[in-house]
Amino acid sequence: MGHPESQLRRHTAEEYFILEAESELRHEFFEGEVFAMAGESIAHNTIAQNFVLTLRPALRGKNCQVIMETVQLAVEDNRHYTYPDIVVSCDPQDQQESRRLHHPVLIVEVLSPSTEAYDRGLKFNQYKKLPSLRHYLLVSQKTWLVEWYQLSQHGVWGHTALAEAKDAVVIPELNLTMTLEQIYEEAGVAPMKAGFAVGEE
């Protein structure tokens, strides 16, 4: 996700939709504020592509969609709209949508220094309101580190930090097994070294 650049005045959701239809840039929307999204690094783009290239064949025949960052996610109607880096939805209602998704099961955000706090804090708190969401991945582009949040059967979000080459995100319901080697393939990101703290960007 790019760096949010806030506009001055507040907008209605309808005004925001018109702006998006006319603009060459993507914008996120939260409580009337519109944020222009900046461009991404090559590493960011490569990591996102690696997810898509693994997810597409894994989801074949499951009636699920894997969408990159150009499609909106309606986190909360009329209040919060985002462009996650990767979204997977298996909901039949989303299959009929042409502009925005509402029912993700997996969201992946590739962290940038300017947006890390937003992705970890406000955005994740908002994402937790989505009844369909079961997995949230925060992927560093500074070193090999994936933070995996999973919703348990008891409604509690657990956290797993993956930092070794053979560590893997394994989501049986999506037929997904993806190691850190696969996530960071050709991204030009170095494996973690001693002294790098989890959560450091």
188 belongs to a structural domain: no
Task: From first to last of the 201 residues of the chain, give the pLDDT tens digit.
Answer: 444 444 457 888 888 888 888 887 888 888 888 887 766 789 999 999 999 999 999 999 999 999 988 889 999 988 899 999 999 999 999 998 888 899 999 999 999 887 888 889 889 999 999 999 999 999 999 999 999 999 999 999 999 999 999 999 999 999 999 999 999 999 999 998 866 655 554
Count CA within 13 A, CB hemisphere, residue 87.
27
190 belongs to a structural domain: no
31 belongs to a structural domain: no
121 belongs to a structural domain: yes
Cβ-Cβ contacts under 8 Å for 34 (sequence gap 6 or more)? 6, 7, 11, 16, 19, 27, 28
192 belongs to a structural domain: no
Total structural domains within the chain: 1
**Shortest CA distance to 105 belongs to which of 92, 115, 119?**
92
158 belongs to a structural domain: yes
132 belongs to a structural domain: yes
Which CATH number characterizes residue 158's domain?
Answer: 3.90.1570.10
* Structural domain of 161: 41-183
4 belongs to a structural domain: no
pTM of the model: 0.87
